[in-house]
A = this chain, B = another copy of it.
């Protein structure tokens, strides 16, 4: 390590948190934007829920260990990270399923408007789910309209029921201005639905103060909840009187254990529960959230900007890296916690980096993503990644035959 990255790490007020994660040996893990690393406390929590709660207390755990309230308990902890007062956030299902619920809610709240406005660059599941809803409801009741991000304002007309955007692009790492876009949506009479998959836990936000209508987010990226951890959703309190959602399963009922024949929606956000949640996975996420008891999202953001800045400067200053086209905004306020570069041989590059112990990811067709998770990534990680990237580029290792074909999952 150079003296520079060592000095930066020595000055980092968050440096001690890394020891609370399991991070294998010399690995430089820059994929926390895809799957966050394992917080050590999760191991004991999962052991306890399996071996003690399930194994010993069995069915009584629904009360004794409060499994029944876990979606709310975890939801409230996430609420504190995204600027939401209590009673508006629930941990439940996946982002895809939650988007379906919320888009249906939005169309209902804002009828007869029928347009879902989205941008072409966002993660596909958001538009796939909107397409599923269009298919189900028919064109007369629902339309998905997609525009380039630069044309959002122009497309916000009086047909738009809901504007659905992801704060930070999974491809470029570019960040939208949530507050001004929420205002623009409202000015056009549209509701605002944010996908916080690449923001929650790494970018401060104020959903209540900005009067956001709805949001979804991910448990397994910067929240470190484990593979496929349950997602979360937010519904602003001012909609609770009228909001309804179609996945009206028994746990969203006002009184699930009355087993009454007709559905009656639970209070507020509780009605967004559907079936029985995967408790073991949700307990892992709950334990992972303990990390956020020690640090504020503002502190995390400060380090995130410093890490991406350090990495971007490294990209710019090393002649060997000039052929990489940076997709991430140079203005720190306009980027999330990742740096994306485009390169003709991005797939081969990603594989050569992984072989060399730098875990990054590839996004088709030509993007290489370097994700920075401030809870455990060091400036030394950024530097080592730059060094190894430069070596891989110099040796043109990405052209080697074994990187010629891509597996199904990348």
Asked if A293 CB lies within 8 Å of chain B CBs, one says no
Contact A93 B275 (CB under 8 A): yes
Chain B residues contacting A125 (CB-CB under 8 Å) are: 249-250, 275
Contact A220 B276 (CB under 8 A): yes
Q: Please provide the chain A residues from 251 to 298 with a CB less than 8 Å away from any CB of chain B in the complex.
A: 251-253, 255, 257-263, 274-282, 284
Contact B61 A51 (CB under 8 A): no
Chain B residues contacting A250 (CB-CB under 8 Å) are: 96, 123-125, 128
Chain B residues contacting A129 (CB-CB under 8 Å) are: 247-249, 274
A: number of interface residues (CB 8 Å): 93
A88 to B208, CA, bound (A): 44
Our pick among B131, B228, B244, B261 for the contact of A120 (Cβ within 8 Å) is B261
Contact A263 B131 (CB under 8 A): yes
Our pick among B68, B253, B276 for the contact of A124 (Cβ within 8 Å) is B253
Our pick among B100, B127, B132, B407 for the contact of A261 (Cβ within 8 Å) is B127
Q: Please provide the chain A residues from 14 to 44 with a CB less than 8 Å away from any CB of chain B in the complex.
A: 22, 24, 27, 29, 31, 34-35, 37-38, 42-43
How many copies the complex holds: the figure is 2
Contact B262 A131 (CB under 8 A): yes
Contact B38 A59 (CB under 8 A): no
Which of A73-81, A312-320, A332-340, A359-367 forms contacts with chain B?
A359-367
A229 to B282, CA, bound (A): 11
A331 to B260, CA, bound (A): 28
A37 to B22, CA, bound (A): 30
Contact B50 A259 (CB under 8 A): no
Our pick among B131, B255, B276, B354 for the contact of A94 (Cβ within 8 Å) is B276
A168 to B410, CA, bound (A): 43
Chain B residues contacting A258 (CB-CB under 8 Å) are: 364
Contact B410 A257 (CB under 8 A): yes
Contact B247 A280 (CB under 8 A): no
Asked if A54 CB lies within 8 Å of chain B CBs, one says yes
Chain B residues contacting A50 (CB-CB under 8 Å) are: 38, 42-43, 46, 226, 284
Enumerate 12 A-B pairs (CB-CB under 8 Å) in ascending A order: A54-B226, A60-B354, A68-B408, A96-B251, A97-B247, A124-B250, A128-B249, A128-B253, A128-B262, A146-B261, A227-B276, A255-B408
6 closest cross-chain pairs (CB), A and B: A94-B275, A96-B249, A96-B275, A278-B281, A132-B248, A227-B279
Binding site for B on A (CB under 8 A): 22, 24, 27, 29, 31, 34-35, 37-38, 42-43, 46-47, 49-51, 53-56, 58-63, 67-68, 93-97, 100, 104, 120, 123-125, 127-129, 131-133, 135-137, 146, 220, 226-231, 244-253, 255, 257-263, 274-282, 284, 354, 359, 361, 363-364, 407-410
Given contacts A31-B59, A278-B278, 6 further A-B contacts (CB under 8 A): A22-B51, A58-B359, A93-B93, A128-B253, A129-B249, A281-B281
